[in-house]
Amino acid sequence: MDGRRLAVVLVLVSLPLFGFALTVQPADERVHRTSVRQGQPGVDGPTPYFDGVADARAQNFTVRYYENLTERGQALYVNALENDGTYAVPVGEGASDYAYPTDAELPDEDAAALRASTVVVVRPANASLPPADEGSPDVRLDVMQTQTANPPLGSSAYLPNYLAALAGVVALGVAGHRYRQETLAEPDVSVGGPF
């Protein structure tokens, strides 16, 4: 195959690779964030603030006692604590203890959206759990937000997209190189100079 044909084939191969990289999204994940901080009421905007379990329930937050969580629910909570406050799993691997609303399912009002995606975990008094992430007035309370969301852009879930884009760039580069080599290798058929 001559260089020009190879260049055309490589350009045609690069197009679907770029198309894949730009249009295919990785599957959503179930995200667990324990790095949510309690704010001051009326000051910090849409951040949870409550003083104890009764106050959290009065504000319609979901309250779960750690010891009453399923084994999977406990594992996801602990994994979030151990992984800098964020832990994500594929959609089928969440826990029935938590709601996982999508952005489209969350109410428009900030406070209602916060309540819909927040679980208040009541930690056992003498638990050997990793430290909680917030400075709650009651050290036994920990706030965790759960949601269904796209993985962050730097996530390994985008690796196929990155590899497809890289392969497309390499294909275009080789095509350009081969085309240029063919063009430079052609003999100069011009006879004489300008008339």
88 lies in some domain: yes
Residue type, 36: V
Least confident of 31-45, 146-160, 173-187: 31-45
77 lies in some domain: yes
182 lies in some domain: no
184 lies in some domain: no
Mean pLDDT value of segment 116-135: 77
21 lies in some domain: no
Check pLDDT > 80 for residue 31: yes
pLDDT of residue 165: 95
Angle, vertex CA 188, rays to CA 182 and CA 189, nearest 5: 120
Query: Is the pTM of the predicted complex or chain greater than 0.85?
Result: no
Check pLDDT > 50 for residue 34: yes
Instruction: Give the single-character DSSP code of 23.
Output: H
> d(Cα 3, Cα 58) in Å, to the nearest integer?
74
Q: Which residue has the higher pLDDT, 52 or 66?
A: 66
Check pLDDT > 80 for residue 1: no
47 lies in some domain: yes
Check pLDDT > 90 for residue 172: yes
Q: What is the domain extent for residue 100?
A: 29-156
126 lies in some domain: yes
Provide the mean pLDDT of the chain. Answer: 82
- State how many domains the chain has: 1
Check pLDDT > 80 for residue 67: yes
Mean pLDDT value of segment 44-69: 80
Residues in contact with 160: Cβ distance below 8 Å, sequence separation at least 6, in sequence order: 20, 24, 26
172 lies in some domain: no
Detail the DSSP E strand segments found in the chain: 29-33, 62-65, 86-90, 118-122, 141-149
How many CB atoms are closer than 10 A to CB 20?
Answer: 16
